[in-house]
Amino acid sequence: MTAQIIIALLIIGVLYGIGYLYLNPQFGGKLSKEEKLAFAESSQWNGEKFRNLQKTTLDMDLKKMPGLIRDNFKGKAERGPEKELPVKEFDQELWDQDEGKTKFIWYGHSVGLFKMNNSNILIDPMFGPDASPVGPIRTRRYSDSTLYIIDKLPEIDAVLISHDHYDHLDYESFQRLGSKVKHFYVPLGVKKHLLRWKIEESKITELDWWDSVDVNDVKINFVPSRHFSGRGLFDRDESLWGGYTFTTATENIFWSGDGGYGDHFKEIGEKLGPFDMAFVECGQYNENWHQIHMFPEESVQAAIDVKAEKAVPIHWGAFTLALHDWEDPIEGFIRTSLEKGVDYVIPELGEQLIIK
């Protein structure tokens, strides 16, 4: 009887796990055979997965895993801020002032709201409270849940996604966003998630590296980064990742997306620069995944490589996703910027700033 009970419990556990993987909307959609065939037109697709421009690996030796897991638990609270970080309320009246000016708001991590040519463009709208919504280890936001901010925002002309990781593509945020967004621009392979979340297919455009679109006379280019993708156990690199550039008659802006340092920054600078401002990833780095996330010194160098007049560090200030202290990225970024003579801007959470 005991053996039968154990077998029954194992079967129930397996069935529950399979059901969780397939029924939980957090995991998003599955890639179809038709999509895989269509991806053959992309030079980034090798027939099964997308790949980086240069060899990229994760230095994650299985022998190191127990120690990393232990270190992640140990002192995690101390690596974050002592108190919740305040976020300024969205002020529609202030947003409507200075017509014709390019404005932006940073909402922590990699959430950016731009106003360009009087169009509202929202990048990586992760306003949710948890960057690990399906894992045993939760990653709580430094600020009180910012989901309510979505309800305060104006109609969004375009939402842009850099890649499909949970800290950039948030299911809870999309439940509130869908009805107030005119169009979604996403990397190849990401559309399947939005479709599962009931976003109309006619409102979704997938992009390959160097593809461009026009949003009310704002030219948007999808550009390479050095990273990876995936939301579940079996979809690693089945969607693309990257950054964006935004060009108007008066401004040129670079948004790095996630990724490690590489030659692609200089290529972007040569092809599409110089830039008035570069928003560069700076945070959640570690030697074990150095090739997919930049250290602060590299973030500054990336801004130099793309020929940016000013640099803004992003991918920090919201979650503890690495073993460094939450303020380490910004301190290193400021120190290196001063050493290399790079002009920088450190916005407050929710603060409205004018680029030009």
Alpha carbon separation from 117 to 68, 112, 218, 263 (Å, rounded) = 46, 16, 7, 31
Residues 305 and 252: their CA atoms lie apart, in Å, by 15
The low-confidence residues of the chain, meaning pLDDT below 50, are 6-20, 62
Q: Give residue-wise pLDDT tens across range 207-266.
A: 999 999 999 999 999 999 999 999 998 999 999 999 999 999 999 999 999 999 999 999
Structure token pair of residue 182? 């005119």
DSSP 3-state assignment of 77?
helix
**Quick one: angle between helices 296-305 and 264-272, nearest 10?**
30
Question: What integer pLDDT is reported at residue 100 of this predicted model?
Answer: 85
Question: What integer pLDDT is reported at residue 99 of this predicted model?
Answer: 83
Domains of the chain: 26-354 (3.60.15.10)
Question: What integer pLDDT is reported at residue 3 of this predicted model?
Answer: 54
Q: How far apart are the first and last CA of the chain?
A: 75
DSSP 3-state assignment of 274?
coil
Strand-pair partners of 354: 103
Strand-pair partners of 246: 220, 253
Question: What integer pLDDT is reported at residue 63 of this predicted model?
Answer: 58
Close Cβ partners of 210 (under 8 Å, ≥ 6 residues apart): 221, 222, 223, 224
Neighbours of 142 (CB within 10 A): 20
Residues 7 and 311: their CA atoms lie apart, in Å, by 58
Alpha carbon separation from 289 to 61, 108, 135, 323 (Å, rounded) = 11, 22, 19, 12
* Half-sphere exposure in the Cβ direction for 141 (13 Å, CA): 23
DSSP letter string over 85-102?
A: PP-PPP-HHHHHSSTT--
Structure token pair of residue 272? 């599409």
Close Cβ partners of 327 (under 8 Å, ≥ 6 residues apart): none
Question: What integer pLDDT is reported at residue 137 of this predicted model?
Answer: 80
Question: What integer pLDDT is reported at residue 12 of this predicted model?
Answer: 45
Question: What integer pLDDT is reported at residue 77 of this predicted model?
Answer: 74
Question: What integer pLDDT is reported at residue 71 of this predicted model?
Answer: 61
Residues 150 and 127: their CA atoms lie apart, in Å, by 8
DSSP letter string over 35-54?
A: HHHHGGGSTTB-SSSB--SS
Judge residue 61's burial from the number of C-beta atoms within 10 Å of its C-beta, 0-12 exposed, 13-18 middle, 19 or more buried: exposed
Q: Which residue has the tokens 């390019």?
A: 102
Structure token pair of residue 353? 């700033």
Sign of CA dihedral 23, 29, 30, 34: positive
